[in-house]
Amino acid sequence: MRYLPLTDSDRGEMLSVIGAESIDDLFVDVPAEARLSGKIAGLPDHASELEVERHMAALARKNLSAGEAPFFLGAGAYRHHIPASVDHLIQRGEFLTAYTPYQPEIAQGTLQVLFEFQTQVARLLGCDVANASMYDGSTACWEAIGMARRITKRGKAVLSSGLHPHYVSVANTMAKFTGDALVHEAPSLDAATDIDALIAGIDRDTSCVVVQYPDILGRIADLTPIADAAHEAGALLVVVVTEPVALGAIKAPGDMGADIVVGEGQSIGVGLQFGGPYLGLFACKQKYVRQMPGRLCGETVDAAGKRGFVLTLSTREQHIRREKATSNICTNSGLCALAFSIHMTLLGEKGLRDLAGLNHALACQAADRLSKVPGVTLMNDSFFNEFTLILSKDAREVVRNLADKGVLGGVSLGRLFPDAPDIGHGLVVAVTETVTAEDIEAFAQALEEELA
Amino acid sequence: MTMMREGRPTTPVPVKEAHMAPATATGNRALMLEEALIFEIGSTGTTGVDFGEIPPVASRIGNLARTDSIGLPGLSEQETVRHYTRLSRQNYAIDLGLFPLGSCTMKHNPRLNEKVARMPGFADLHPLAPQSTVQGALAVIHELAQWLVTLTGMHSVAMSPKAGAHGELCGLLAIRAALEARGDARSVVLVPESAHGTNPATAAFCGYKVEDIPATPDGRVDLEALKGRLGPDVAAVMITNPNTCGLFEREMKTISDAVHAAGAFVYCDGANFNAIVGRVRPGDLGVDAMHINLHKTFSTPHGGGGPGSGPVVLSQALTPFAPLPFVERKGDQFVLVEEETAEQHHRSTFGRMVAFHGQMGMFTRALAYILSHGADGLRQVASDAVLNANYILRSLDDVLDAPFGASGPCMHEALFSDKGLAEGFTTLDIAKGLIDEGFHPMTMYFPLVVHGAMLVEPTETESKAALDQFIMALRSLAERAKAGDEALKGAPYHAPRRRLDETLAARKPVLTWADPALAQAAE
């Protein structure tokens, strides 16, 4: 077996050093009835690299990948072009095959990257500090709700109807077990967000208000009034960003008064990957840093006085605090954070603003073209690179039929909100720099045929 | 014509000792290059990405345009490649050498798996793409799930958890849902003292009270103490098997039977599954739920701290409560069961744990790994992992104290303590000494039940020559620590950094970079 370096003669020599007759002797503590005498039944034996590659390639070919079709899906995962050097650099073995940097003297590469990543994320989100990443946006969102509970010692979170429904589901799953009360409704197909209703829903029991920006329907609204209302009531504002590229064009949540900003970092550097691994972003105001979940990297000096970096404030974490930890998270998304950071370094502020500008311009063009299709109405007044179309029939069927025509034409609200049939005619469409004018035209024509 | 050869000496000349390592003007040391932060070398106007012309449009952003500077520096492509390449060289990695971090299973990461994960048919798929367009991806999830179920002898597997600790959460949520479904509210989870920190943290995270179970002097769960504590308030027992002392819990089946008799469930921390894969099925030991760290046993890369992947295998009793989404086969089609597609018989699910379907990029890698090894290769994995650990244990137990060495062979990791080191010398000194010897240190001070623990997990992908060199290095360090060699307390000397001041970092946290000029102006 090509990955196993021991030879039979090595094994024999080693057994004699150990003083054992056979490998089976080393498993003497396993009760006989639990020991398998031979290979597990029902599974094939080892295979060559070529055979495995062939098998996997055959499965890969059964999928219609985003690059093969006019592609307009978003709703929490975005397709952006990733510069070639990003994937090259994250495959450096020293990054790819390293462990969590618990031995800082020989992990300065990873640690400096995390320090730079934390700074990039904090600046992008408009916050004082950011951690070294979470699993994904949805788990980061739940962790933010938990953090708000610890800070305010209150247990009611008011969730915007514009929050990604899967994020709401994750929070609902957890809240059943922690006892948090979550207030949430499905969105309605209006150009205006639910900001007024949210403000009306804040009371003295509220730990936090959770708002997505841009929201699940692509709408953007000034968050300052919600921040003010939340703070007035002693609650926190948690803002969720699922498309961080937007923050190259629109105001940062932290600059509008958000206390905790979490996000899905996938759209910068990470790629679609059918949903994972992704990258949870987590940032907050300096005063809340000791209530943060997850790993933090900090600057220090070594014995010779040189600047260096270490994991720090670990007394918040499970390996020190056990059941009193701020979270049970251990492994995070280090390599995805590296990809994000490299891509962001390549972009720089100029590149990020250009990227955001290009996304917005193409989205405006697509919105204009698609809303000319008979049976299509553009719901949004405001949007960044994603908007909602109201179709003349249920969007689920439309999406499936478009796929049969080779067009990946958005995400239906029926799939996202199966319990809210009144918004089933909504279709969420994302337009990034990877979309061409031809793609927009192909989508418009296919949609026209489908709605005719 | 003769070539000019002066000035090109090819023979080293003797150098006075004092001149061996003079300081350099740059701080660089030949191939060891210092690298500044991107905030110190980049600028907000520099970019390494070109975009085409942006078409003029009427903005739909309203009055929300971000006009202030964001403060994100950019670098050209060349500078970017150099920055990260230089940084990478300050990391130790499996690709460089043995990485004996106990409980972490740092084995070789085959590159075929990287290639497979990057096939556009997997890497360039949107999680919400219509199901008819992702049948191959769903087939991967289904095929991997079948392997995991077969290898563990369990009933089903929840694929969506993102890492080991997230898998623990999944298992405990399933247990809690199962208990609530039978109207049985229970409040306590029992966890052995030797457990990973994530176990008690997870139990607390789902609202349980955590109680410790003591260990016996031979390093295993105290069965009598456990039995004595079981009662109607206990929801689950979380056990690691093989345990964190590197030992197989011989009484596992008896423990499971006792736990079940008391109406509770058995959660097994599967972090150490590498020791038994292909040789023992946890399902045969009465386990109800166990997470599998694909980034350990199934070799998906650790990536400097993730991403991981933690599918959870479940017993028949817990299967109805598995989280959404999951993949089911219907004839020749695969169906992703999620909120929209869930049928009545799926309604007992405890809900959703993540936005999408789990770590697809890890599933493709793990499946390629499993297919490469096959049933025979995976059995060999456990055999060689255990052989390598016992070889280290028996090659060093004359110079290092092996607290459970007398109780028989270890599993995949060898545990030593700091007993016998000279006054003032610690496990930390040995660990830092290993850095100078060119190895990543072992896991230090874990498990907590052993004083100054050193937990060494070589894994099966190390050759005998690599093990012998590691043994020689550790033997030398043990001898120096026993002899009181003061120089060891200053180690490492040859790493990119000397010992770092972690106390300072925690006392005055500097978590983001601030421009020193601006920071000074603000004061």
> Is residue A434, in this structure, part of any structural domain at all?
yes
Residues A76 and A194 in one domain: no
Name the residue type at position A432.
T
- Tell me the three state secondary structure of residue B387: helix
User: Phi and psi for B442 in degrees, rounded to 5?
Assistant: -75, 175
Q: Which of A324, A343, A362 is the last residue of a domain?
A: A343
β-pairing, A260-264 vs A280-284, is antiparallel
CATH architecture of B374-505: Alpha-Beta Complex (3.90)
What predicted TM-score, i.e. pTM, was given to this entire model?
0.97
Q: If you measure CA to CA, which chain B residue comes closest to A62?
A: B136
> Is residue A42, in this structure, part of any structural domain at all?
no
CA atoms within 13 A on the CB side of B409: 26
Predicted confidence at residue A318, as pLDDT, reads 74
Q: Report yes or no: A4 and B377 within 8 Å, Cβ to Cβ.
A: yes
- Tell me the three state secondary structure of residue A28: coil
Number of independent structural domains in chain A: 2
Predicted confidence at residue A328, as pLDDT, reads 78
Q: Let me know if B96 is exposed, middle or buried by CB neighbors in 10 A (0-12, 13-18, 19+).
A: middle
pLDDT along chain B (523 residues), means of 10: 58 64 88 95 97 94 95 98 98 97 94 98 98 98 97 97 93 95 94 87 89 91 95 96 93 96 96 95 96 95 94 97 95 93 88 95 98 96 98 98 92 96 96 97 92 96 98 98 97 96 94 85 63
Residues A314 and A216 in one domain: yes
DSSP B438-458: T----EES-STTSTT-EEE--
Predicted confidence at residue B7, as pLDDT, reads 60
Residues A429 and A407 in one domain: yes
Q: Report yes or no: A275 and A137 within 8 Å, Cβ to Cβ.
A: no
Predicted confidence at residue B197, as pLDDT, reads 85
Q: Is A39 in Cβ contact with B60 (below 8 Å)?
A: no
For the beta carbon of residue B41, count every other beta carbon within 10 angstroms.
15
> Is residue A287, in this structure, part of any structural domain at all?
yes
| Full domain range(s) for residue A329 | 84-343
Q: Which H helix or E strand runs over A125? A: helix A108-125
Residues A308 and A354 in one domain: no
Mutation choice for B interface testing from A22, A35, A63, A110 by most B CBs within 10 A: A63
| Dihedral angle of Cα B87, B93, B95, B96, to the nearest 10 degrees | 90
Mutation choice for A interface testing from B33, B57, B78, B84 by most A CBs within 10 A: B84
Token pair, residue B237, equals: 């027992």
Q: Is A367 in Cβ contact with B356 (below 8 Å)?
A: no
For the stretch A168-187, pLDDT in tens is 999 999 998 888 999 999 99
Q: Which residues of A touch B464 (CB under 8 A)?
A: 5-6, 10, 13-14
Predicted confidence at residue B466, as pLDDT, reads 98
Predicted confidence at residue B451, as pLDDT, reads 94
Q: Report yes or no: A265 and A277 within 8 Å, Cβ to Cβ.
A: no
Residues A335 and A354 in one domain: no
Q: Is B248 in Cβ contact with A27 (below 8 Å)?
A: yes
CATH code of A155's domain:
3.40.640.10
Mean pLDDT lowest among A30-44, A339-353, B255-269: A30-44
Whether pLDDT at A285 is above 80:
yes
Tell whether B418 lies on the interface with A, counting CB pairs under 8 A.
no
Predicted confidence at residue B522, as pLDDT, reads 62
Token pair, residue B272, equals: 């150490």
Residues A217 and A307 in one domain: yes
Tell whether B386 lies on the interface with A, counting CB pairs under 8 A.
yes
Q: Which residues of A touch B77 (CB under 8 A)?
A: 83, 85, 346
Q: How far is CA B264 from the centre of its chain?
A: 29
Q: From 3.30.110.30, 3.40.50.2300, 3.40.640.10, 2.40.50.140, which CATH number describes the B112-369 domain?
A: 3.40.640.10
For the beta carbon of residue B407, count every other beta carbon within 10 angstroms.
17
Q: Report yes or no: A18 and B394 within 8 Å, Cβ to Cβ.
A: yes
Tell whether B162 lies on the interface with A, counting CB pairs under 8 A.
yes
Q: How far is B7 from chain A (nearest CA, A)?
A: 36
Name the residue type at position A226.
I
Q: Which of A343, A374, A397 is the last residue of a domain?
A: A343
For the stretch A296-328, pLDDT in tens is 999 999 999 999 999 998 877 777 777 777 777
Token pair, residue A70, equals: 């006019």
Predicted confidence at residue B194, as pLDDT, reads 81
Q: Report yes or no: A385 and A431 within 8 Å, Cβ to Cβ.
A: yes
| Location of structure tokens 């102006």 | B521
Tell whether B33 lies on the interface with A, counting CB pairs under 8 A.
no
> Is residue A27, in this structure, part of any structural domain at all?
no
Tell whether A403 lies on the interface with B, counting CB pairs under 8 A.
yes
Q: Report yes or no: B496 and A306 within 8 Å, Cβ to Cβ.
A: no
Q: Report yes or no: A105 and A269 within 8 Å, Cβ to Cβ.
A: no
Q: Is B511 in Cβ contact with A312 (below 8 Å)?
A: yes
Residues A231 and A260 in one domain: yes
Query: Please, what is the average pLDDT of chain A?
Result: 96
Whether pLDDT at A167 is above 80:
yes
Tell whether B97 lies on the interface with A, counting CB pairs under 8 A.
no
Predicted confidence at residue B430, as pLDDT, reads 97
Cα distance between residue B429 and residue B247, in whole Å: 26
Q: Is A264 in Cβ contact with B355 (below 8 Å)?
A: yes
For the stretch A221-244, pLDDT in tens is 999 999 999 999 999 999 999 999
For the stretch A87-102, pLDDT in tens is 999 999 999 999 999 9
Predicted confidence at residue A178, as pLDDT, reads 87
Q: Among A115, A338, A348, whose Cβ lies nearest the Cβ of B46? A: A348
Q: How far is CA B207 from the centre of its chain?
A: 25
Tell whether B374 lies on the interface with A, counting CB pairs under 8 A.
yes
Q: Which residues of A touch B512 (CB under 8 A)?
A: 115, 118-119, 122-123, 128-130
Q: Which H helix or E strand runs over B86? A: helix B77-88
Residues A259 and A407 in one domain: no
- Ranges in chain B annotated CATH 3.90.1150.10: 374-505
Q: Which residues of B touch A221 (CB under 8 A)?
A: 64
> Is residue A41, in this structure, part of any structural domain at all?
no
Residues A175 and A311 in one domain: yes
Q: Among B120, B280, B350, whose Cβ lies nearest the Cβ of A30? A: B280
Tell whether B452 lies on the interface with A, counting CB pairs under 8 A.
no
Predicted confidence at residue B19, as pLDDT, reads 61
Residues A143 and A220 in one domain: yes
Q: Which H helix or E strand runs over B427? A: helix B427-436
Q: If you measure CA to CA, which chain A residue comes closest to B295?
A: A331
Q: Which H helix or E strand runs over A17? A: helix A8-18
Q: Which of A327, A343, A359 is the last residue of a domain?
A: A343
Q: Let me know if A227 is exposed, middle or buried by CB neighbors in 10 A (0-12, 13-18, 19+).
A: buried
The mean pLDDT value for A1-7 works out to 96
- Ranges in chain B annotated CATH 3.40.640.10: 112-369
